[in-house]
Amino acid sequence: MTLLNISKMGHPVLRQIAAPVSDPTSAEIRELVENMVETMTEAGGTGIAAPQVFESKRIFVFFVSEDRAKVEAERLGISIEGEAAVPLTVLVNPEIDFIGNQIDESWEGCLSIPGLMGKVPRQRSIRYRGLGLDGKLIEREATGFHARVVQHEYDHLNGVLYPERMTDIKSLIFSSEVGYQKADE
């Protein structure tokens, strides 16, 4: 496996609409995904999309730790039982549908925008589907942090970075300063 360079905000690859993948089972795609996972892990991320490693392909990988899912569920006041860990997931050519119209605003960071975080409104609940590396369909419903991560990574496939989703640019701050923000902001 190889650590890949991460594209930073301002690079054109992050503004493109990524191309669909014709064969998610190919050796080329498997190698790319392995390298993406290694790169994400090394960088301390919870998700990474192919455009973030200079590949304009409709692929992203992510996971949600149980601790992070529960913290976000408590913050949102939703059932903790429904918020479990999500194992490492690879989605090729994903699609998202929104469930309901509840919007939650929370802090997001991005490997392509190092050192900064911003408050981003996202749909609370979504349904998503995509292909795994075996070519089989993956379909899930997600709420809370799980839904937020999927929407964030999906945006990368459409050339959108989280600051474009923010409603108040004043909440774009250095990651080190998040602790100074009120918990209910």
> Which residues are annotated as catalytic?
153
Q: Compute, in degrees rounded to 10, the torsion defined by CA atoms 155, 28, 111, 65.
A: 90
